[in-house]
Structure 1
């Protein structure tokens, strides 16, 4: 059954050696000042280049787009040059790597965005949400987010332009494509989900209106770099960072149909992955498959067995394995050979240096 994970496939113009995806995971190790990708990150991703597709960690498109300390950006020449080191290292190992373009909207604190007030679809504070700032102790200092200001039409046009430029910058940096982060409660998600958006203009109210920002961002990026290099990540049933939708099945089936019309190269769905979370309804997955005809990636509580089954059933084309990739740089080999998986150290996920990033070994057979 697991052979389904090891069938080669095409993604746009790229040839993928398997259907295993390393999804984006924030590690907060960008060089300071400047939030620049570095040699350490290049080694980290190159170690994992046997994945069919790597989607690099969330990368802010502007200073205002940053939610957490020490995350990389892609809006300065220094940042583009830093990411070029990463893409060169991955390509040297025969890998394919996309950039995840990220604007957090309200999920931040003025300390992370030059003292400014965050922006969002609406002036609604995300309740019970914390982010981490650099408090000078070399360890994340967690603080509550603050109330954002509602974006004006000029703000919306400006941010759409930032997404366009970030997509161009990603291609300049050598990425094979980009993934729009429209999930997990960040800016695009703050427009999509009904309970985070109380606008009364054409960007709020109906499902069509709440999907308008997503559509305009995707259109500007596909016009800039080609639809065959643009994927989108959605999280239909999560309530991460305080975003909730009243009718997620209806909203996200409409989103899938919209993205099909816009011809994006893949749809990446993040499922709820905490231990006692409900499963995504099978009928919803079938509706997504019917609405969207391109490549579908699912990530969440997947292992080799249920991931391969999802591909064999035709529900998914690729499967993302997040945390297992942290401690198992050779994860495809371990899956193929039924080798045991190493656990990761949760204390070294965010910030720090090589410990917990580069020092997980490949499996030794003797």
Structure 2
């Protein structure tokens, strides 16, 4: 029978590139859409502070649009509600968020984000900007996905294939936004390289059909991501932690893969490690699902094994259903799979655990599970509130 003492591996300190966190729990990045005019409000600051006060050591923000005109749009939900990391008002808003999280005893990284093919033309802070991706395609429309037909029809319309000038502009924008984040007082940088957004579309062969140095085999497809990381590392210096989120699955295709074998995945991870990544955030729908045949190791364990860097596991922690299943059925019950996560962490499979929907529903989730209390269930309607 499990006891709260079995969860102690989750509550040990963790040091990432000189930054020591009091425990191994992080809040996973989750788009909320509660930033009117793309500016985080005092309510947003209070939302993050409550999670810090509830015992979550590291808060990774919702996706934040970088300083590039096509970084965000309606594809993220409400284009007006998605925060950005440029402009005086947004910077002032983020300073308040950082101050509140620090006052609550936590640490916070912004998740730098470019939507790529998930930005609809004519939307976002700069409606006149062209939507871009490596090859001008959203991806296949006949795969397993939760996207309905009207959605796919809108997003699968061809858009601009990036020129090398576009690529340079976006890389520079990541660097500028990282520098702003450091000036604001963020404790590290998180990079969104998953879920079918811009960086991920370079990694995925289905959306990267380029024949130049940014397309082809895994080494070439990893070049853009590595150059983004390198620009961020140059902007923030050697001692600020950088976390990179990657995934096999895409919103366009739940069964997608960017790497068919561990060796192929290692090529990407090592390129990003050489560029300056300190920790890999392995995004999965289920944190404990084996990543490759003939091995029980989940993706986060492979990330650590192949790169030699720390890794973060995420996917269904504390809940009975994955994200998309829970949205379709209206919620998810409490699932005490965090005991399994603690056991895997104690074995050295991964170093950190990212909690998503469970923390939306219950900001005191860490304190409750550590003391043997029952956390709140997740309800789909919780997504419409900022509490």
What is the TM-score when the length of structure 2 is the normalising length?
Answer: 0.82
- Unpaired stretches in structure 2, ≥5 consecutive residues: 1-5, 318-336
Q: Is 2:312 aligned against 1:301?
A: no
Q: CA deviation at 1:337?
A: 1.1
Q: CA deviation at 1:258?
A: 1.9
Structure 1 pair 213–27 and aligned structure 2 pair: CA distance change class (3 A): same
Q: Is 2:61 aligned against 1:56?
A: yes
Aligned pair partner of 1:36 in 36, 39, 43: 39
Question: Secondary structure at 2:70's aligned position in 1?
Answer: helix
Cα distance in 2 between the residues matched to 1:230 and 1:19: 15
Question: Secondary structure at 2:60's aligned position in 1?
Answer: strand
What does the per-residue CA deviation read over 1:253-292, in whole Å, with 9 as the maximum and x for residues that have no partner? 2222223323422111111249xx9543434645432322
- Unpaired stretches in structure 1, ≥5 consecutive residues: 133-140, 351-355, 359-366
Q: How does 1:66-215 map to 2 (within 5 A)?
A: 66=72, 67-68=75-76, 69=78, 70-113=81-124, 114-128=127-141, 144-145=154-155, 146-215=157-226
Q: CA deviation at 1:40?
A: 0.5
Cα distance in 2 between the residues matched to 1:335 and 1:159: 41
Aligned pair partner of 1:290 in 277, 302, 305: 305
In the alignment, which residue of structure 2 is the partner of 1:137? none
Q: How does 1:13-32 map to 2 (within 5 A)?
A: 13-32=18-37
Q: CA deviation at 1:233?
A: 3.2
Q: CA deviation at 1:24?
A: 0.3
Question: Secondary structure at 1:241's aligned position in 2?
Answer: coil
8 Å contact from structure 1 (residues 21, 52) kept in 2: yes
Q: Is 2:263 aligned against 1:229?
A: no
In the alignment, which residue of structure 1 is the partner of 2:379? 345
In the alignment, which residue of structure 1 is the partner of 2:49? 46
Q: Which moved more, 1:192-201 or 1:232-241?
A: 232-241
Question: Secondary structure at 1:48's aligned position in 2?
Answer: helix
In the alignment, which residue of structure 2 is the partner of 1:333? 367
Structure 1 pair 159–290 and aligned structure 2 pair: CA distance change class (3 A): same
What does the per-residue CA deviation read over 1:305-352, in whole Å, with 9 as the maximum and x for residues that have no partner? 1220121110100111111000110111011012112123313425xx
Q: How does 1:263-274 map to 2 (within 5 A)?
A: 263-273=276-286
Cα distance in 2 between the residues matched to 1:104 and 1:346: 24
What does the per-residue CA deviation read over 1:127-160, in whole Å, with 9 as the maximum and x for residues that have no partner? 458999xxxxxxxx99831322110000000000
Aligned pair partner of 1:6 in 7, 11, 16: 11
What does the per-residue CA deviation read over 1:199-239, in whole Å, with 9 as the maximum and x for residues that have no partner? 00000011111000011000011011024424333333213
Cα distance in 1 between the residues matched to 2:286 and 2:275: 28
8 Å contact from structure 1 (residues 107, 131) kept in 2: no
What does the per-residue CA deviation read over 1:109-134, in whole Å, with 9 as the maximum and x for residues that have no partner? 124230443100112133458999xx
Q: CA deviation at 1:240?
A: 1.9
Q: CA deviation at 1:181?
A: 0.6
Structure 1 pair 183–248 and aligned structure 2 pair: CA distance change class (3 A): farther
In the alignment, which residue of structure 2 is the partner of 1:363? none
8 Å contact from structure 2 (residues 229, 276) kept in 1: no
Cα distance in 1 between the residues matched to 2:33 and 2:147: 12
Q: What is the aligned residue count?
A: 341
Cα distance in 2 between the residues matched to 1:179 and 1:337: 30
In the alignment, which residue of structure 1 is the partner of 2:328? none
Q: CA deviation at 1:37?
A: 0.8
**CA RMSD of the aligned region, Å?**
2.4
